[in-house]
Amino acid sequence: MLRGLYTAASGMMTQEQRHNTVTQNIANVNTAGYKATNSVQRSFPEVLVSMIGGNDSSNAGRKLGKFNTGVYAEESISLYTEGALRETGKNTDFALVSSFTVQNPATGQDYPFDASGRYVDENGEVIYRPEGFFTVQDENGDTRYTRNGSFRVSPEGNLLSESGYQVLDNNNRPIILTGSASDFTVNEQGEIMDAAGNGTGIILGVSIVSQPHGLIREGNGVFRMSDPDGEVRFMTPADNGVVRQGFIEGSNVDPTQSMVELTAALRAYETNQKIVQYYDRTLEKAVNEIGRV
């Protein structure tokens, strides 16, 4: 009896985590460059059920089958699909349009990634599509990555992210602009041009992360690599990536799907809650009524 109680309780905790994940997505539906998160659920390991006891000794140890004893929220996975671009007209706003590919060495063809940027081969190996990010440096000098291209220029000419981090060029150096903030443009390859349209030799550091599933959120739309030695390189003109000045990438959260997920999590939570209440009433009868017999 208590096994069912624990199973229902684990279901309630899992749906609570699922609910928290969806509400976080909804709260950031208008956050520039925000990437939605999905909560991955997994059942507890299967256990073998056997018949024990009884008057018939032939039933002892009879195998009844396997079943799971609950579910838990294993992890949260970010979806790196691109959000819709919104034109702002500000020359310090940038959006990254990227569609990077990976070639299958066996066939010479590009992997057909699905909408979430994954491909599972015939051996079950998961291959992820590389993703591009603007490269920034936090106050501790550590490299971070973001899709939020809402930048600003400090009085000293430093190009800063919305969180106040230094925006880096493709040589990992902080970008410092000379002259007025309105006197520069950026071409599609990310090169900063002066007021006369001449190249300055400074290129926005657009990092291509080969294993984006290894990124860890730090808040404010900023990510860091879980493995400091993970494969990251800067975008080159040969890559299929474009920097759009005067645009901002919106959130990739689907509000309609999020509301469906929210309702489903609530209904599942209520179902498990009723099961817990049922077990509570059953235990109450076992203790207070059957115990008096």
The pLDDT assigned to 53 comes to 57
- Using DSSP's 3-state secondary structure scheme, residue 24 falls into helix
- Using DSSP's 3-state secondary structure scheme, residue 27 falls into helix
From residue 100, give the alpha-carbon distance in Å to each of 81, 132, 141, 191, 242.
Answer: 12, 8, 28, 19, 11
Contact 11, 47 (CB under 8 A): no
From residue 126, give the alpha-carbon distance in Å to each of 80, 108, 110.
Answer: 16, 18, 14
- Return the structure tokens found at 230: 């993970």
Size (the chain), residues: 293
With 0.85 as the threshold, say if the pTM is over it.
Answer: no
- Determine which helix (DSSP H) or strand (DSSP E) holds 145, and give its type and residue range: strand 143-146
Neighbours of 250 (CB within 10 A): 18
The pLDDT assigned to 109 comes to 87
Contact 212, 240 (CB under 8 A): no
How distant is the alpha carbon of residue 29 from its chain centre? 14
Q: How does residue 96 score in pLDDT terms, banded at 50, 70 and 90?
A: very high
Using the predicted structure, report yes or no on whether residue 55 has a pLDDT greater than 70: no
Q: How does residue 79 score in pLDDT terms, banded at 50, 70 and 90?
A: confident
The pLDDT assigned to 34 comes to 92
**pLDDT tens sequence across 170-197:** 999 999 987 655 678 899 999 998 877 7
Q: Which of 76-80, 94-98, 126-130, 235-239 has the highest mean pLDDT?
A: 94-98
From the list 211, 239, 205, the residue with the least C-alpha distance to 99 is 239
The pLDDT assigned to 169 comes to 93
Per DSSP, helices labelled H in 43-99 are: none
Neighbours of 272 (CB within 10 A): 20
- Using DSSP's 3-state secondary structure scheme, residue 291 falls into helix
**pLDDT tens sequence across 234-245:** 998 888 889 999
**CA–CA separation, 99 vs 287, rounded Å?**
64
From the list 176, 247, 243, the residue with the least C-alpha distance to 207 is 243
**CA–CA separation, 50 vs 107, rounded Å?**
49
From residue 286, give the alpha-carbon distance in Å to each of 3, 8, 118, 276, 292.
Answer: 16, 20, 52, 15, 9
The pLDDT assigned to 137 comes to 94
The pLDDT assigned to 94 comes to 95
> Please, what is the average pLDDT of the chain?
84
Q: Across residues 154-163, what is the average pLDDT?
A: 90
Q: How does residue 81 score in pLDDT terms, banded at 50, 70 and 90?
A: confident
**CA–CA separation, 210 vs 21, rounded Å?**
25
Q: How does residue 134 score in pLDDT terms, banded at 50, 70 and 90?
A: very high
**Residue 230 identity:** G
The two counts, helices (H) then strands (E), for the chain are 2, 22
